[in-house]
Amino acid sequence: MSWKVLITARGIQTAGEQAQELLRKAGCEIIFPSKFGPLKADELTHALAGMDAVLASLDDYSAPVLSAAGPLKIIARWGVGYDSVDVAAATRNGILVTYTPGLLDDAVADYTFALLLGVARRVHEAQAAMERGEWRNYWGDDVGGKTLGIFGFGRIGQAVARRAAGFNMRVLAHTPHPSPEIKGVEFVSLETLLEESDFVSLHAALTSSTRGLIGEPQLRRMKRGAYLINTARGALVDETALVRALREKWIAGAALDVFAVEPLPAESELRSAPNILLSPHQSSYARGTGERVSLAAARGIVDLMQGKKPGNLLNPEVFAAPQLRARLRE
């Protein structure tokens, strides 16, 4: 048996040699598209033609795309976010969806703190000045002893809180399911978190209720000396309101690794906003982490090809669907 496996996740290119070897040894034929994802619906529909599996970026796996996906049996997400996948539509079409939870936590938490420190101490501005041949000092803000507000307190949010403890920070958290037994963290309302935090870090999933959650009213609630950090999903933030907040100095600055549209358009006003640090959705790009995530995603594909149920399945009910496209061992 041989499966055709499309790879749209860019991380496989430089941190996925072992994953590629695993797939090839299992008898898979690996296909790379003309460009890595995220792929738009029309691009993805074309790329998925004849594919049995996809090791996926944040491509547009909408219902029309999945209905036209021919022999596709599994979408193995490289990473933890799956808001770009219509899981219900995948189930209706007999397609399994897997992801890789728990493997990105430390890498993303490390990067969150890198952004927090970088924007607070204006490292990016000093670097830009040095590249221009200047010798100029930039006054930043202290981090130690300040208040960090974490919106979304899952595994990554908790990992960020552990790092904040090393900076002797007061940690506030807002989540639908607070855990008061966690020491050193105060669970508060979103309003309290915004009003009292010196740094607000976003770690929530993107849902219909969180889309655009940080807009003008929320940004105006923040301290004038506060910073916004987002390594979760770009659409959590109203980017137009954020640009205005930075230009009119409602807040001190922002650091973003994620955007509502990716890649970030060249004409985006975020690129010219003051006091902002931008990076291209690379919080999980730590080499060891990338290798582990790549292997986990590839292993799910191999397991299914060999008739086994893969782990970290988002839609186990698919096995009861008459449209199930994969054959399992009895």
Q: What are the CA-CA distances from residue 146 to residues 127, 170, 176, 236, 324 (Å)?
A: 25, 6, 24, 24, 52
Residue of 77, 124, 174, 281 with catalytic role:
281
Q: Which of 195, 216, 262, 269 is catalytic?
A: 262
Task: Find out whether 128 and 104 touch, Cβ atoms under 8 Å.
Answer: no
> Do 282 and 257 touch, CB atoms closer than 8 A?
yes
Q: Angle, to 10 degrees, between the axis of helix 17-25 and the axis of helix 287-305?
A: 10
> Phi first, then psi: what are they for 258, rounded to 5°?
-135, 155
Task: For the chain, list the strands marked E by DSSP.
Answer: 4-7, 29-31, 53-56, 74-77, 96-98, 147-151, 170-174, 185-187, 199-202, 227-230, 253-256, 276-278
| Marked catalytic residue, from 174, 221, 233, 292 | 233
Structure tokens at 64: 């029309």
Annotated catalytic residue 233: yes
Amino acid at 16: G
**Which strand ranges, in their side-by-side order, compose the sheet holding 4-7?**
29-31, 4-7, 53-56, 74-77, 96-98
Of 7, 4, 5, 11, residue with least CA distance to 281: 11
Provide the β-strand partners of residue 291.
none
- Cα–Cα distance, 128 to 157 (Å, whole number): 30
Which active-site residues does the annotation give? Answer: 233, 262, 281
